[in-house]
Copies of this chain bind each other. A is one copy, B any other.
Amino acid sequence: MLQSLLGYNVRRAQVTLARDFQQHVGQGKIRPVVFCILVLAEAQPGIAQVELARKLALDKASVVALIDRLEGAGLVERRRSTLDRRRQGLFVTPQGLLRLQTLKDEVSRHERQFLERYSPVEIALLVSLLQRIYE
């Protein structure tokens, strides 16, 4: 009966993926959300923290704490925007880019373990069905 609930199945899948991520990515020190921040900042240098919060469905205050640690580790830096001085654009440092490359490889290996269980069509389908939940 539990197995028929969408919420139960999504939660079990999420827990499984999160634990495997922790075991195989960044020696357990990089969380999925932090990885996402790095990826987004690389794709869109100078991205605002509010926008990260929106894209990751977090409160902006939570994002601040995450970036504090990333900045402390020298992987990103904040730069005040000259156009809108309220904004602190986020940039991945050269060291961060290097680290990100390693992380991406680890994430790929981690994901592959699960993607292997599907055909390409099934993966595309699964992703698109999941997006219908949160989009």
Residues of A that sit less than 8 Å from B by CB = 1-18, 21, 32, 36, 39-40, 43, 57, 107, 110-111, 114-115, 117-118, 122-123, 125-127, 129-134
Write the nearest CB–CB distance from A101 to chain B, whole angstroms.
13
| Contact residue among B12, B15, B111, B134 (Cβ-Cβ distance under 8 Å from A15) | B134
Q: Helix, strand, loop or mixed for chain A's interface?
A: helix
* Complexed CA–CA distance, A20 and B126 (Å): 21
Q: Which residue on chain B has the smallest CB distance to residue A7?
A: B17
* Complexed CA–CA distance, A50 and B56 (Å): 34
Chain B residues with CB under 8 A of A16: 57, 133-134
* Complexed CA–CA distance, A5 and B123 (Å): 10
Write the nearest CB–CB distance from A37 to chain B, whole angstroms.
10
Q: Let me know if A115 and B6 touch, CB within 8 A.
A: yes
Q: Let me know if A7 and B134 touch, CB within 8 A.
A: no
Write the nearest CB–CB distance from A117 to chain B, whole angstroms.
5
Chain B residues with CB under 8 A of A130: 9-10, 12-13, 126
Please indicate which of the listed interface residues A32, A57, A115, A130 has the most CB atoms of chain B within 10 Å of its own CB. Answer: A130
Q: Given A1-B39, A6-B115: A15 and B57 within 8 A (CB)?
A: yes
* Complexed CA–CA distance, A133 and B11 (Å): 11
